[in-house]
Structure 1
């Protein structure tokens, strides 16, 4: 059996010499092949910057690049992707008897997340033309996009069928007569005069506070969402109803809450999360389970091999 020496990397051959059926997973910044295979990467570099998201959300001419909306943003997406790869590899091993080596890179996950525009650029044969969206609405739909309320909050509309939802929106907004306006009284006319309609929508939304609009829009069938901050996400009724905010007791015995995995099985929420271990919390326990005594543990700690 090959034995890795001090300072050498333990690779798949070393592991499979002990367990030939192991599924070996490699998470990397820039993939397992190519000149950058050994290059370190973070979600801010490999996923956000190299994967296309940063350029995609930074407006043309901006004096600063848009940052990730949360820490470990790409890492979280990459972790879920790795989990899916492991599940597929387990199924493959169960049906073929052959184990797999699973590779997932942050740059690959980043490109997959922005694939719509990347694919358009590939088909275009070069960079896509700069497209500055209208301030309000979309080019042919006033019921798409973010609108600011009177108290400085935002409502995101996503009613992809403007003709279907225009009359309802006008009624909810207290301007039912707008649905009969000769500029907007058919889907074709509404799409042709979307810019004018969007300015009207912006004025209507800006005339009332956020809380009032969330109540008004909840009465309709059109698609929309409140733009929420981190605290509001934690209190979101849909997350709460589905058990996606779960209790956890921390290392000091204090009751906390955390966001749970979005994956559920058999219509059952996680229930209560188990806290992660503190640094080196179980080192002694694990080493003793391997047969080491107190003197050996102490020697490993003196040598810096264990903490």
Structure 2
């Protein structure tokens, strides 16, 4: 660890002292509290039965997501920074413990269905009677109202309902993998919780908040929605390269790697780009350059640049473009990002000692604070790993805890 990294880690975390209680499954909901854990919040995850089913979700589309301990890496993503308690809240004594935890909490988060919340007694009406200032955070598939409000959903369904699957401009729906909308929803939910915490501090009130996969997918497409509704334009532009300007396009290089550039306004960069490519003659040809000094989009022009880009490797082209102030960057596979110097120097990828995976690189927190630190603190808990610790914190002695274990209330 570098001295600057050590200095950053020694700084206080923004949400130290905030207590969050969670009764959720999979990622879109629990991912939000994991983010707040990155900011220092104390999070208690309640599980019962066989626990969060995400623990056992180890295969998707031929990918094996199992860690050495047999549990899914996705469960680790969703539940880092949390302490775990096994608690049967349907028993009288379990309900008593649950209400004690609610009384001490600033936030309660769940992503269970509306009817399930009512059945379990974890709905806002019930819990606000226990703690009137509780922030009751909900994550659903399609929102709190309407005919789909009590229907479960996973990431691909939110993509489908929102139009996100057509955002690439393809004729056939295209699914973004893996958990892209789930993670975006988790971010939106963490944003909502932070806002409600500020309201609680300023106005002294708790409240119920609600985020959905559907709402988040629409919010992600805010520009597209405006183009479609305000201007009646189909914003889902095809990715076919010949239909895009050379200044907003991707090219394959000599080493088989790809590079992409995006430049606006085009008249400012077109001549710089052509001279950097040693292709000044294009600037004088009306077939390729219009009277305003912009490129004429078309298959013939793209083919000319395709041939030119094959003369150098991707890194060699980057060395040409960067001194000219042209906005190009390499197109990376996600596995390459782990070793990207730009990610490493900014702490966007950081080393982490995981208890079953060992020393690995993980995503760092995406925000830099001058006076605070943020990031993953510890691995996801086993089922009931911190049951005794949590019960002792709220005043339960060893004999009483053992009795609760014998009765199956806790584990």
TM-score range, shorter chain: 0.7 to 0.9
* Equivalence for 1:157: 261
Shift in alpha-carbon separation, 1:97–1:267, aligned structure 2, 3 A: closer
Give the SS at the match of 2:378: coil
Matched, 1:128 2:252: no
Shift in alpha-carbon separation, 1:244–1:287, aligned structure 2, 3 A: same
CA contact (8 A) 1:51 1:110 kept: yes
TM-score, normalisation: structure 1: 0.82
Q: Mind listing any 5+ residue stretches in structure 2 that lack a counterpart?
A: 1-88, 92-118
Which of 359, 363, 367 is matched with 1:255 structurally?
359
Aligned ranges 1:47-66 → 2 under 5 Å? 48-57=159-168, 59-60=170-171, 62=172, 65-66=173-174
The CA deviation at 1:174 is 2.7
Give the SS at the match of 1:281: coil
Give the SS at the match of 1:122: helix
Counting strand residues as a fraction of each chain, which structure ranks higher? 2
* Equivalence for 1:30: 142
Give the SS at the match of 2:210: strand
Worse-matched range after superposition: 8-17 or 288-297: 288-297
The CA deviation at 1:80 is 1.2
Worse-matched range after superposition: 268-277 or 82-91: 268-277
Distance 2:291 2:344 in 1: 38
* Equivalence for 1:235: 339
Matched, 1:90 2:197: yes
CA contact (8 A) 1:53 1:110 kept: yes
Could you list the per-position Cα deviations for residues 52-106 of structure 1 after superposition, in whole angstroms to 9, with x for gaps in the alignment? 211222612x4xx42314x221121111111211222222223322222211111
Distance 1:187 1:268 in 2: 52
Q: Mind listing any 5+ residue stretches in structure 1 that lack a counterpart?
A: none
Shift in alpha-carbon separation, 1:111–1:253, aligned structure 2, 3 A: closer
Which of 166, 176, 180 is matched with 1:73 structurally?
180
The CA deviation at 1:177 is 3.5
Distance 2:290 2:221 in 1: 35
Give the SS at the match of 2:294: helix
The CA deviation at 1:25 is 0.9
Shift in alpha-carbon separation, 1:19–1:132, aligned structure 2, 3 A: closer
* Equivalence for 2:156: 44
Runs of 4+ in 1 over 6 A off after TM superposition: none
* Equivalence for 1:148: 252
CA contact (8 A) 1:247 1:273 kept: no
TM-score, normalisation: structure 2: 0.63
Distance 2:376 2:126 in 1: 37
Distance 1:39 1:215 in 2: 52
Give the SS at the match of 1:279: coil
Distance 1:17 1:75 in 2: 31
CA contact (8 A) 1:137 1:144 kept: no
Shift in alpha-carbon separation, 1:146–1:304, aligned structure 2, 3 A: farther
Distance 1:129 1:242 in 2: 33
Could you list the per-position Cα deviations for residues 257-292 of structure 1 after superposition, in whole angstroms to 9, with x for gaps in the alignment? 210121232276647743232332212322344444
Worse-matched range after superposition: 10-19 or 286-295: 286-295
Matched, 1:113 2:220: yes
Give the SS at the match of 2:259: strand
Aligned ranges 1:185-204 → 2 under 5 Å? 188=292, 190-191=294-295, 193-195=296-298, 196-204=300-308
